[in-house]
Amino acid sequence: MVECTCKCKLDFEPFELLIWSETVKLDYFGNISGNKIFLATKLIFFLDLLECNAALSESHTFHIEKNGSGPKFSRWYQLWTHFILLWAVYSSFFTPLEFAFFRGLPENLFLLDIAGQFAFLIDIVVRFFVAYRQPHSHCMVYSHSRIAIRYLKSQFMLDLLGCFPWDYIYKASGRKEPVRYLLWIRLSRALRVTDFFKKLEKDVRINYLFARIINLFVVELYCTHTAACIFYYLATTLPPSEEGYTWIGSLQMGSYKYTHFREIDLWTRYITSLYFAIVTMVTVGYGDIHAVNTKEMIFVMIYISFDMILGAYLLGNMTALIVKGSKTERFRDVMADLISFMNRNRLGKDLRMEIERHVRLQYESGYTSASALQDLPVSIRTKVSQKSYEPYIRKVPLLKGCSDEIINHMALNVHEEFFLPGELIIEQGSMADQLYFVCHGKLDEVRRYENEREEPLLSLETHSTFGEVSVLCNVPIPYTIRVVQLCRLLRIDKQHFLDILDTYFLDGRIIINNLLEGVQGKESNIENIIKESKTTLHIAKHESELAMKLNCATYDGDLYRLRCFIGAGADPNMSDYNDRSPLHVAARKGYEDIAQFLIEKDANVNAKDYFGNTPLLEAVRNEHDEVASLLVNAGATLMLDHVGTFLCEAVASRELEFLKRLLFNGANPNAKNFDMRTPLHIAASEGLYPASVSLLEAGASVLSVDRWGKTPVDEARVGGNKSLINLLENAKRAQLSEFSESFERNQGSVIIEQEQRKCTVFPSHPWDNLDGRRTGVVLWVPQNMDDLIRTAKEQLKVYNGSCILSENGGKILDVRMISDNQNLFLVNEAS
């Protein structure tokens, strides 16, 4: 039922529509437009449409509902295809007969021929509206322009030329013989018969042996029929006076002679020609019929050579029927088993169609070629899998940064599958037990709501993945995956994937991080689900165990074992429960070779453990100067959180060597604690002369003041250590003297910087008009006037000018008269 905007109802039963969605617009002149509409029409539709002309406005919109998941041919179109098939059978057999036996059709056959060509002409129009399925993507194409272009590039010219009334053209051209050869164009219609037999053989409702034998019989009959017509035509190429030099003109069957054979009735001539073709094909006979002239001999030789090939084809097919080895028969057996299974389990119509389409895809396109590899050795299958699947898996964002080992392992465990457009691979709310990689094609993520409304979320294309969250986290999939274009997918079983992650758990951490990066910005709870999943916790457990193994190997000084762990993919920066890395342990134990190896493997030299200790601090505390030197050369620092407090404690505990190492490795001797006291304050108050010397040598200031306003000198005086007081007094005088010199240098540079001025010099007089004034140049004011004049002439590219004038016209004699940013004028003194 088609519904119009003018509220009238049109019931177009003869209207042939093959529909998939959206809107068709038709005006009352029969013009058609619309998107994604597959339609074919019969002329009755336009007649019915014109009958409603009075009730329609200038244009009408017809809303056609979507029916099913794919296009469905209406019964009217199916009747039309069967009708045109009968005409194709008639045309295929009658064309050779017309060419050989008729030099101009009689009236009754001429009218029949015109009716047939008119039917094929209508079919040409219909085919401009017939959607087609793309061979590479298996998507239906509904665009009228693309359908028309495809048809114009393929069969259109043959179909159009076949519809020409060649018999009428032959008569109108004065019975020119070359015109009749164009009749053979109509044999292209035999392709329709071939397609019909292909469909017939796949129809499980019809006995395959019967369908195949009928097909082979028709092939043999058509070949002999065509050969018989050619044999007779060759005889008619000679004039009646020379008909005795032809195979039929010289023929005598018993007492019956075929003289004046053109006057014999059509049936006798055709049967005789067919008999000649058959006995020639099987290369047996009684010697009663044979070629006479040269043209007949040449054709017989060609025909017998062709018959050898045809006989081999027929015998091969019959043998295949007996042994049941044909691909089509295997397909029918599979379909028969599936139909029995579907009937027994009462599967729904949509599911049955999906199963049948999938099996037909495998049969027609040969996409199950991977099964042919099962008989090959494992080593060869491994190479084939790596060559075929590894490039796709390597480019998947989920596996970005993973090792070659895990990618190779996954390439060996994936299985290849193909899905047709419209199929649902995973439905919303189900648990995925497979991880899918997209090699080719296009899919959509769709979310369905209770009111059957669908919301597209994401389009998946090559190198995409889906099902990973469900596989890794054991949660239902919150969307449906629907195929848009023919898809080639690689799938790996959930258990295989988790086993691989268990083996390559270091890559598992990379996969989890990539997954978290991929879901960032989506639903907030997905990140928490991934982080709290059993897989993530299992990977973290393995990482902790490996970190312990690394630290144990380092603690034991076993460089070989450490090399093996890191060579197997372990991260040299992995830390244990106290955040201690192998470099912390190596620095503490003083293993110079292990520290050097870890630094070469890009271990973090400034990593902090749970207590805030760096590898350099561990080396310094345990007096391993060689390791500390390696770390410093690699860019390591102490990175102490409270340097002043730490140094003050070292001084107070009288750890002089430790203090020296800290200062040597970059600790700031002027760092202060919470009381604003420096380590030198503590050393002076405690009377620690050696510590004070070390701090002063490291650059400690005796002028620092604590929160009570006391300096280290004041603290020494309270303690009464004369040697220490003298040391600090001398250091104070030296630091004050150095500070004074530094202050004077800084002041001088400030004065020089303040004296530096700039000016703008123009090559004209100050009283010249501003519009006519040439562009000037900005210069720094030099030490004397001669330098200023020379520099201005060079920059302004003038050759005259001997003095500088101010804006008021006064001559400037000294550069000290020039203020900053003043405008000056370069002129000749005589002017």
Residue 563's CATH number? 1.25.40.20
Give the separation between CA 71 and CA 22, rounded to whole angstroms. 13
Q: How far apart are the first and last CA of the chain?
A: 105
Cβ atoms of 45 and 16 within 8 Å: the answer is: yes
Give the DSSP per-residue string, 361-374.
HHHHH-TTGGGGGG
For residues 527 and 381, state if they share a domain: yes
Give the separation between CA 662 and CA 649, rounded to whole angstroms. 12
- Long-range contacts of 332-336, Cβ-Cβ distance < 8 Å, separation of 24 or more: 332/201, 332/202, 332/204, 332/208, 334/359, 335/202, 335/204, 335/359, 336/204
For residues 607 and 506, state if they share a domain: no
Give the separation between CA 665 and CA 274, rounded to whole angstroms. 110
Question: For the chain, what is the domain count?
Answer: 8
- Kindly give the parts of the chain with pLDDT less than 70: 1-74, 136-139, 204, 283-288, 322-333, 358, 360-377, 381, 521-524, 568, 739-755, 770-772, 830-831
Q: Does any domain span residue 195?
A: no
Cβ-based neighbours of 25, under 8 Å, separated by 6 or more:
32, 33, 34, 59, 60, 61, 62
pLDDT of residue 773: 72
Domain range holding 340? 333-367
For residues 174 and 30, state if they share a domain: no
Q: Is the pTM above the cut of 0.85?
A: no
pLDDT of residue 96: 93
For residues 417 and 354, state if they share a domain: no
pLDDT of residue 262: 86
Q: Does any domain span residue 541?
A: no
Give the separation between CA 469 and CA 436, rounded to whole angstroms. 11
Task: Spell out where 94-249 has E strands.
Answer: 132-133, 140-141
Strand (E) or helix (H) holding 439: strand 434-448
For residues 402 and 519, state if they share a domain: yes
Of 46, 65, 36, the closest CA to residue 145 belongs to 36
* β-strand partners of 9: 3
Give the separation between CA 597 and CA 632, rounded to whole angstroms. 15
pLDDT of residue 270: 92
Give the separation between CA 210 and CA 201, rounded to whole angstroms. 9
- CATH number, domain of 228, equals 1.10.287
- Name residue 163's amino acid: C
Q: Does any domain span residue 198?
A: no
Based on its alpha-carbon atoms, the radius of gyration of the chain, rounded to whole angstroms, reads 49
pLDDT of residue 8: 35
Give the separation between CA 151 and CA 130, rounded to whole angstroms. 10
For residues 456 and 476, state if they share a domain: yes
For residues 381 and 526, state if they share a domain: yes
pLDDT of residue 55: 31
Give the separation between CA 280 and CA 290, rounded to whole angstroms. 9
For residues 62 and 84, state if they share a domain: no
Burial class from Cβ neighbours inside 10 Å (0-12, 13-18, 19+) for residue 218 reads middle
For residues 727 and 690, state if they share a domain: yes
Instruction: Tell me the C-alpha to C-alpha distance, in Å, between residue 646 and each of 280, 542, 624, 635.
Output: 113, 37, 19, 21
Strand (E) or helix (H) holding 509: helix 505-518
Give the separation between CA 308 and CA 193, rounded to whole angstroms. 24
* β-strand partners of 23: 63
- CATH number, domain of 527, equals 2.60.120.10
For residues 805 and 766, state if they share a domain: yes
Q: Does any domain span residue 668?
A: yes
Q: Does any domain span residue 768?
A: yes
Q: In this structure, what DSSP letter does residue 152 have? A: H
pLDDT of residue 23: 35
Q: Does any domain span residue 540?
A: no
pLDDT of residue 69: 38
For residues 82 and 62, state if they share a domain: no
Which of 155, 189, 223 marks a domain boundary? 189
pLDDT of residue 120: 92
pLDDT of residue 30: 35
* β-strand partners of 805: 811, 825
Q: Does any domain span residue 22?
A: yes
Which of 695, 720, 745 marks a domain boundary? 745
For residues 567 and 655, state if they share a domain: no
Q: Does any domain span residue 201?
A: no
